[in-house]
A = this chain, B = another copy of it.
Amino acid sequence: MASRTADGYENGRLRREAILDAAFGYFARAGYHGASLREIALAAGVSYPGLRHHFATKDALLLAVLAQREERAAALLERDDALPVLDRLVALLEANRAERGLAQLFARVAAEASEPDHPAHGYFLERYARIRSHLARGLRADAAAGRIGAGVDPERAAVALIALADGLQTQWLLDADAVDMAAELRRSATGILRG
C-alpha cells in the first residue's frame, strides 16, 4: 500500500509537470485568452478532468506556469549579490536568448496583464516592484563600491534598466537578427549608469 501511494504521488507529480510544460508553450504562443485548457490537456497527454484536478481554473494554471518559470530568472538575478547589477542583467538576457519561449511568455502576458481585471495583473505588479527593488539594492552596492556614477539614483536607474531589457527583447522577439540584446544592454546601460 505504501508503495502504491508513493507511485500515485509520483504519477501525480509527473502529470502536473507535463501539464505545466504544455501550458507554458500554449500561453507563450497564444497568450492567456488564446490558450485552450482542452488543447493543453491533449498536448500533456492527460484527460480534461485530469487537468482540472490539478488546476481548477485557467487562472490557476497560468499563475503556476509563471511562478515555475520565474524561479530561473530570479535565481540568475539574485545569484551573486557581489556581482555588478549590469553583469547579472546581461547574463539574464544571454540566458533568454536560448529560451525564446520563456521571453515570449513574459512579454505576451505582461502586455495582456496591464488590464486590471487580467488574472495575472497582481502577479506582474508585484513582479516588477520586486525586480525594481532588487536591482536598486544592487545598484546601491555598486555605488558604494564605486562601480557606477555617484549621481545615479538607484530606484530610477532600476526602472530604466528593466525598461531597456524588456524593450530590447520586444525587438529581438520580432526579429532576432536585428538586435544583439546583450551587447546593446551593456553599451546603453553603461551610459545610464555613468550618471
Contacts and interface: CB of A to CB of B under 8 A. Distances in A.
Contact of A31 (B112, B156, B157, B188): B112
A184 B171 contact: no
Interface stretch (A42-50, A66-74, A84-92, A122-130): A122-130
Interface string A97-132: 000000010011011111100000100110011001
A195 interface: yes
A53 interface: no
Contacts of A174: 110, 113-114, 121, 124-125, 128
A128 B177 CA distance: 13
Contact of A159 (B30, B159, B168): B168
A16 B195 CA distance: 50
A5 B62 CA distance: 53
Given A113-B174, A125-B174, A159-B168, A30 B29 contact: no
A187 B195 CA distance: 9
A171 B178 contact: no
Interface string A145-180: 000000000001101101111111011011100110
